Amino acid sequence: MSRLSSGGLIDRATPLAFTFDGRSYKGFAGDTLASALLANDVRLVGRSFKYHRPRGVFSAGSEEPNALVELRTGARREPNTRATMAELYEGLEATSQNRWPSLAFDLLSANQWFSSVLGAGFYYKTFMWPAALWEKLYEPAIRRAAGLGRAAEQADPDSYEKAFAFCDVLVIGGGPSGLLAALTAGRAGARVILADEDTILGGRLNSARTAIDDAAPGAFLARARAELSALPNVRVMPRTTIFGVYDGGTYGALERVGDHLSVPAPFQPRQRYWKIVAKRAVLCAGAFDRPIVFGGNDRPGVMSAQALRTYAVRYAVTPGRNAVVFANNDHAWSAAFDAADAGVKVSAIVDVRETPPPALLAGATARNIRVIAGGEVIATSGKCLSSITVRTRGGTETLQAEVLGISGGATPNLALTSYFGGRPKYDAALAAFVPDQTPPGLSVAGAAAGQFSLAQCFATGAAQGVAAARDAGFAATPAPLPETGDTPTSLSAFWHVQGSKGLAFVDFQNDVSAKDIAIAHKEGFRAVELLKRYTTLGMATDQGKSSNMAGLAIMAELTGQGIGETGTTLFRPPFTPVALGALAGHHREKDFRPTRPTPTHDWARKQGAVFVETGLWLRAQYFPKPGETDWLETVTREVKAVRSSVGLIDVSTFGKIDLQGSDVGVFLDRVYINTFSTLAVGKARYGVMLREDGLVMDDGTTARLADDHYVMTTTTANAAKVYQHLEFCLQVLWPDLDVQLASISEQWAQIAIAGPKSREVLAQVVDAPLDVSNTGLPFMGAVEGRVMGGVKARIFRLSFSGELGYEIAVPARHGEALTRALMAAGAPFGITPYGTEALGVMRIEKGHVSGNELTGQTSARDLGLGKMASTKKDYIGRVMAGRPAFADRDRATFIGFKPVDRAQRLRAGAHFLPLGAVPVMENDEGYMSSVAYSPTLDHWIGLGFLKGGRARIGQKVRAYDPVRGGDIEVEVCDPGFVDPEGERLRV
Amino acid sequence: MLLIPCPYCGARPEIEFHCGGEAHIARPENPAALSDAEWADYLFIRKSPKGVHAERWLHSHGCGRWFNAVRNTVSDSILATYKMGAPRPDIAADTPAQGGK
């Protein structure tokens, strides 16, 4: 065990058991998976992406490039989880990834011996030829060899939420500057949200021993946390990452509600995706400690100097028996001192600078730490680090070290400042990019702004808190700052140890070495965005948080340009990976959109209906009876019942639009191809409406109930589209028309009864004096009256089936009662409920067009409805419908089909070819759009579009269906298969 | 989140709206009298300026009303909204988005 005997923010009274690669270990509450693994001497935690090199924990935060694991098992398995961000919980199960057969012995680590050919751009160079091998050979092989974790491959059992929050001041990051910003704005009365990706507030203060107000940082933190939680206008959101900045001061945030538990608490989501709208925001996201590039710098045991401090101080872990720090800056020295003071044996500090500040030298002497000034680490050895080789003026020397804390300086965490296109600027004194232009309403404080010392963090945090609160309209005043010794931050820019031994890594996660940067330079991929794509520097889950700076600096050295001129790649959201599940929230599976049951849904369910989704609606598809063996048998029975007696179907799903006003007739004349202003009151008419491009948008019947009152029906599928179209026409095209629209689709239930006995059934439910006789309510009549002893109703004598038929509309709440009344009245006639299948069969028998024909690519003439078009008025689509191509005699138009051998089955989707023609596109003459087995004719029938259309009635063509192996002869016929003269519906 | 001020409802999130393309295009009174070129100009030809642009917007998940908006297509900022039928306000240039330092 490498756990220090005292100290740390862990709860030693709460031990937690966990497993890594199947082995059991113990940690404590307050540990991360990374700290618990280090405490158990597990230093090798993963294999690298390309070369499968052994890797250990590099950081202690969200920038972690190496320690990626698969967390949890089964459906909850989550790949590429950063062990540094995974809080330990009882029973945690983690597995290393990208290794085979095991983490300790990985055969693909042989890749590293071929690093000379696997360098930058090797995909593009090596697998050029033959191209045909890409899909079958190269890509699968590369994907097996180079990869990260495995997805769960099962549905995620957890739920996710979306939420909104609003505040005056959003503080991003709860370190020293964030605490001061939140306290200052909160004391002024502003509504403050303080979000931090960590479990506890404090940021680097949780990992430091620097005195604040002459006490350990814990005392200051306790006061600050207590004050923040006591302020009712301050909301602290731990475990919450602000990952994006958007228009209008909107910030995307991911709250990990249940990630620190084995399963989320009851009724709690796993994660919550917040949209936080803030009048002002202060970015206090701190900085990353970046690596130095030298040979063997990726060996397990090499970590950032600040991570070494964090593991020692916060987690009471010594990540190796003998620690050495290699750095170019003062801040790494204070990390070494804190680690030593916490109990880690720090044997040496290697600094590239010839003369480190005297105060630091004194500190090292006091702690008995050897100082090697002007030294560079040039090699490391051991599978996990055991020793390092240091080059000094006097030659080389080998030092024993199980942990090497490296630091090339601090890189401000400023990604959020550039999400609006702002480019950071280079500060040579800091050897770092600092924010320049920021998104509207966002200011920056503390280390994220390059203000690295603790005193600077407090001062800028407080100042930006005051400024933000004032901008949001609050009279904020600066408060006294906590007293602290100014932690030193001088550094000497240093990126890359020349002449070191072995592969020197710039980007650990993508196995990009200094040599790869040189290759990219040599081959001309010098611009930073090209460098990134060519070498993969800064890609994948960590997006180069720790690696980008050194990569840019090395490229700048090679080109001779300054780092500022070289620039950085553009940062893009999200700041850290966001699960798609969190972005989707509850919008998945059946929750993605509502299910709309019809008014008779429950009744139909009790009748044993099989339902089908039509758009959002659930409609009865057919009503099987005991003993019926398949749907065709059921549907055939339903059709025969309608044609011989009477049947009933719920047609409430049709769109219904109420139109009132003195100009409705004029309006309808402009949107339909036929005329409605002349429609008599009490009558209905079938209408076709076009889009302005001349193609059919929708069809349906519209009835006139009064001079200034019409009711339109649309197809089920186009109900919303037609309504929107009419609104557009009224509001935008012709606002001067006196027309009011209302969608009444859901307010009215509409039940159709059809069949020769339907009038006798209807007569039993209508109230006197409503007359539904052939003279009282002739074909295409529309009347208002009462049914079932007082229920308001609209009755339309319409027919889709071709039989005598009525549609009775009642307020939706009476839909089921009406259905029951009609069923009771029809019982002596054997009234049969039927579903959408039988409805479809009967409309095909009648040759009516439906959704399969109204494809948005068919004109009224194509559908055989051209004669309906008025020539006496303008209407939407008229000009374009007159295009010569639409009148082409060779254009495929609507027609019926039957198999020459009547025993054969037709298939919708089959294409028509001349008899004997080769099945190639040039010979294509059209296609079958709808087919049905006709119980009335006792053979299959079809509708479709054929070149030449009606002129070819009587001819035979080939119906070719290569997808399902169909190839039969069909005869072209009139689409009206049953009662083409329409005598039955007028009786 | 972009807030769009609906002239009827006030500022609402952009997800409640749909853009309907260039504004102030009247449907010709008598399309049959137009040449093909004139008709094509009405039906197909739209400006796509880099900068200030007047567009039709629909508050589809709100009041259901169409209105017009002047928007800067570069910064995606809405500079003005006004009811259908009202004249286009005279907005020559956009105010650039202000960023802090």
pLDDT class of A590 with cuts at 50, 70, 90 = confident
Domain identity same for A175 and A232: yes
Tens-digit pLDDT profile for residues A21-30: 999 999 999 9
CA A78 → CA A159, A259, A923, distances in Å? 15, 11, 53
Tens-digit pLDDT profile for residues A776-793: 999 999 999 999 999 999
Give just the sign of the alpha carbon dihedral A8, A14, A15, A20: negative
pLDDT class of A541 with cuts at 50, 70, 90 = confident
Higher pLDDT pick, A739 / A117: A739
Residues of A in contact with B99 (CB under 8 A): 420, 422, 437-440, 442
Average pLDDT (A6-27) is: 97
Residues of A in contact with B65 (CB under 8 A): 731
Average pLDDT (A500-506) is: 93
Tens-digit pLDDT profile for residues A870-882: 999 999 999 999 9
Tens-digit pLDDT profile for residues A506-522: 999 989 999 999 999 99
SS3 assignment for A225-241: HHHHHHCCCEEEECCEE
Residues of A in contact with B71 (CB under 8 A): none
Residue-level pLDDT at A129: 61
Domain identity same for A625 and A677: no
CA distance A142 to A119: 14
Residue-level pLDDT at A619: 97
Tens-digit pLDDT profile for residues A881-924: 999 999 998 999 999 999 999 999 999 999 999 999 999 999 99
Q: Is A879 on the interface with B (CB under 8 A)?
A: yes
CA A786 → CA A26, A327, A751, A775, B34, distances in Å? 77, 91, 15, 18, 51
Q: Is B73 on the interface with A (CB under 8 A)?
A: no
Q: What is the DSSP letter of B27?
A: P
Structure token digits, residue A205 = 């203060």
How does strand A740-743 pair with strand A655-660?
antiparallel
Q: How far is B40 from chain A (nearest CA, A)?
A: 10
Hey, which bits of A34-134 come out as E strands? 46-47, 54-55, 68-71, 78-82, 92-96
Q: Is A740 on the interface with B (CB under 8 A)?
A: no
**pLDDT exceeds cutoff 80 at A155:** yes
Q: How far is B11 from chain A (nearest CA, A)?
A: 11
Q: Say yes or no for a CB contact (<8 Å) between B97 and A250.
A: no
Orientation of helix A176-187 relative to helix A454-471, angle to 10° = 30
CA distance A44 to A46: 6
> What residue spans of A56-193 are helical by DSSP H?
122-126, 133, 139-145, 176-187
φ, ψ at A554 (rounded to 5°):
-65, -40
Residues of A in contact with B64 (CB under 8 A): 727
For A248, which of B3, B58, B98 is closest by C-beta distance?
A: B3
Domain identity same for A381 and A515: yes
Domain identity same for A95 and A201: no
**pLDDT exceeds cutoff 70 at A146:** no
**pLDDT exceeds cutoff 50 at B98:** no
Q: Is residue A84 part of a domain?
A: yes
Q: How far is B9 from chain A (nearest CA, A)?
A: 17
Q: Is residue A302 part of a domain?
A: yes
Domain identity same for A393 and A517: yes
For residue A519, give the 3-state DSSP assignment.
helix
CA distance A974 to A24: 77
CATH 3.30.2270.10 assigned to B3-83: yes
Tens-digit pLDDT profile for residues A241-295: 999 999 889 999 999 999 999 999 999 999 999 999 999 999 999 999 999 999 9
Q: Is B87 on the interface with A (CB under 8 A)?
A: no
For A732, which of B30, B39, B84 is closest by C-beta distance?
A: B84
Residue of A42, A36, A54, A98 whose CA lies nearest to A508 = A54
Domain identity same for A361 and A424: no
Tens-digit pLDDT profile for residues A923-980: 999 999 999 999 999 999 999 999 999 999 999 999 999 999 999 999 999 999 999 9
Q: Which residue of A has its CA nearest to B1?
A: A247
Per the structure, the count of domains in chain A is 6
Q: Say yes or no for a CB contact (<8 Å) between B31 and A735.
A: no
- Find out whether B34 and B42 touch, Cβ atoms under 8 Å: yes
Q: Say yes or no for a CB contact (<8 Å) between B56 and A442.
A: no
Residue-level pLDDT at B99: 35
Burial of A216 (0-12, 13-18, 19+ CB in 10 A): middle
Q: Say yes or no for a CB contact (<8 Å) between B32 and A878.
A: yes
Residue of A19, A53, A56, A513 whose CA lies nearest to A302 = A56
Average pLDDT (A521-548) is: 92
**pLDDT exceeds cutoff 90 at A797:** yes
CA distance A291 to A332: 11
pLDDT class of A168 with cuts at 50, 70, 90 = very high
CATH of the domain at A317: 3.50.50.60
Residue-level pLDDT at B96: 45
Q: Is residue A944 part of a domain?
A: yes
**pLDDT exceeds cutoff 80 at B100:** no
Q: Is residue A812 part of a domain?
A: yes
- How many Cβ atoms sit within 10 Å of the Cβ of residue A105? 9
Q: Can you name the residues that pair with A791 across neighbouring β-strands?
A: A787
**pLDDT exceeds cutoff 80 at B94:** no
Parent domain of A683: 655-743
Average pLDDT (B70-93) is: 89
Q: Is residue A155 part of a domain?
A: no
Domain identity same for A735 and A802: no
Residue-level pLDDT at A147: 65
Residue-level pLDDT at A130: 65
Q: Is B31 on the interface with A (CB under 8 A)?
A: yes
**pLDDT exceeds cutoff 60 at B93:** no
For B97, which of A440, A443, A692 is closest by C-beta distance?
A: A440
Q: Is residue A854 part of a domain?
A: no
Which residues have CB under 8 Å from A103's CB, separation 6+? A21, A44, A45, A46, A47, A54, A96
Q: Say yes or no for a CB contact (<8 Å) between B76 and A248.
A: no
**Percent of chain A, pLDDT > 70?**
97
Q: Which residue of B has its CA nearest to A736?
A: B85
**Which residue, A108, A123, A146, sits at the end of a domain?**
A108
Which residues have CB under 8 Å from A292's CB, separation 6+? A326, A327, A328, A377, A406, A407, A408, A494, A495, A496, A497, A550
pLDDT class of A143 with cuts at 50, 70, 90 = low
Q: Say yes or no for a CB contact (<8 Å) between A728 and B66.
A: yes
Residue/partner pairs of A628-634 with CB below 8 Å, 24 or more apart: A631/A837, A632/A933, A634/A837
For B99, which of A277, A439, A727 is closest by C-beta distance?
A: A439
Q: Is residue A377 part of a domain?
A: yes
What integer best gives the mean pLDDT of chain A?
A: 94
**Percent of chain A, pLDDT > 90?**
89
Domain identity same for A465 and A502: no
Global confidence as pTM: 0.86
Residue-level pLDDT at A432: 96
Residue-level pLDDT at A949: 95
Domain identity same for A493 and A636: no
Q: How far is A452 from chain B (nearest CA, A)?
A: 17
CATH of the domain at A944: 2.40.30.110
Q: Is residue A872 part of a domain?
A: no
**pLDDT exceeds cutoff 80 at A124:** no
Instruction: Determine the residue among A284, A725, A731 to mutate to test chain B binding: the one whose Cβ has the most chain B Cβ atoms within 10 Å.
Output: A731
Q: Say yes or no for a CB contact (<8 Å) between B20 and A732.
A: yes
**pLDDT exceeds cutoff 60 at B62:** yes
The residue assigned the tokens 């924010």 is: A435
Domain identity same for A725 and A762: no
Residue-level pLDDT at A517: 96
CA distance A727 to A733: 9
Q: How far is B50 from chain A (nearest CA, A)?
A: 17
Domain identity same for A800 and A768: yes
Domain identity same for A242 and A256: yes
Average pLDDT (A529-552) is: 92
